[in-house]
Amino acid sequence: MEQASNIVVATRAALAQLTALAIQYSFSAIGAIILLVIGWLLAGFLSRWAHNGLSRIHGIDATLAQFFANIIRYAMLVLVIIMVLGQFGVQTASVLAALGAAGLAIGLALQGTLQNIAAGIMLLVLRPFRVGESIETGNISGTIVDVGLFATELRTADGVYRMAPNSTLWNVPITNYSRHKTRRHEITVTIGSGDDVEEAQAKLIKLAQDEPRVTKAPAPTTYVADFDAGSTKVTLRYWATSSEWWATHTTLTKATKLAFDKKPDPTPSSGSDV
């Protein structure tokens, strides 16, 4: 009988202890669920607020705004998870230390990737090129299709797709052929030493003025580039819009060739009078 009563007492003590633990952890679970819900909603609100605010800033790319918005959201979620673990008695200091060590290991493992991300952020902030612009940098050239955080997509002049890591575009000088509205070009013709230089210059100016894609300001000009005993080089310098620069160049080059082609004088036919 005494043994049975001891079992009953021990069972009642265990049930009481389990009930106390259940009550204690039920409140912790309810608090954790409330924290998760509030944290999830707050993270989404802060992310949208940051995205909308950054999108209104002139010069901030949409990709960059979304990137920073995601960083804020995930940082808020990590903070909420740490707070939830603290509700259940987990030592948050050790969790933060573990996260720091994991972050350091990941950073070392993804050093090249992080370098591309840093370069992508700088490219999106400073905007040395935009989508649709034609660039050349090192051995990479083409028209920008998309600028991402990791890499930039281009389309070469012959229609080939090319993807370049952002770090390769950030560490070298960049030539942007489309950033300014107009571009200058020159055409040089060689005339004989006995030909009229002023006539050649006037002919070149007339060709440029007749081409509607050549800008009026700055106006086209000509000058004598070089000469020797047998020939003289005359250069036409003109400006055209960047979007039509190549078409203007090819048209004027052909027109100049046709204008300066020397056609042989017709040889009079010899005949005998009858």
The domains of the chain are located at 9-109, 128-176, 182-260
Where does 128-176 sit in CATH, by number? 2.30.30.60
Lowest mean pLDDT among 171-180, 194-203, 211-220, 265-274: 265-274
What average pLDDT does this structure show over 187-193?
90
Q: What is the structure's pLDDT at 200? A: 92
Please state the three-class secondary structure of 218-239 as a single string.
Answer: CCCEEEEEEECCCEEEEEEEEE
- Predicted confidence band of residue 238 (pLDDT cuts 50, 70, 90): very high
More confident: 84 or 5: 84
CATH architecture of the domain with residue range 182-260? 2-Layer Sandwich (3.30)
- Separation of alpha carbons 204 and 187, rounded Å: 9
Range with lowest mean pLDDT among 18-32, 73-87, 131-145, 213-227: 18-32
Report the percent of the chain where pLDDT is more than 90. 30
Q: What is the pLDDT of residue 273?
A: 39
Q: What mean pLDDT comes out for the span 75-85?
A: 79
Four-way CATH pick for 9-109: 3.20.20.80, 1.10.3720.10, 3.40.50.1970, 1.10.287.1260: 1.10.287.1260
List all residues 6 or more positions away from 96 whose beta carbon is below 8 Å from its beta carbon: 82
What is the residue-averaged pLDDT of the chain?
80
Domains 9-109 and 182-260 share a fold: no
Q: What is the pLDDT of residue 189?
A: 93
Predicted pLDDT of residue 91: 65
How far is residue 115's CA from residue 51's CA, in Å, rounded to a whole number? 23
198 or 97: which leads in pLDDT: 198
CA-based R_g, the chain, Å:
38
With 90 as the cut, is the pLDDT of residue 92 above it?
no
Between 154 and 149, name the one with better pLDDT.
154
Most confident among 34-38, 72-76, 84-88, 151-155 (mean pLDDT): 151-155
Pairing of strands 221-227, 151-155: unpaired
Cα–Cα distance list, 81 to 70, 76, 90, 91, 117 (Å): 17, 9, 11, 13, 26
For residue 243, the 8-state DSSP code is G
Q: Which pair of tokens denotes residue 112?
A: 């090249």
Per-residue confidence (pLDDT) for residue 3, from 0 to 100: 59
- Which residue, among 98, 255, 248, 246, has the nearest Cα to 177 in the 3D structure? 246
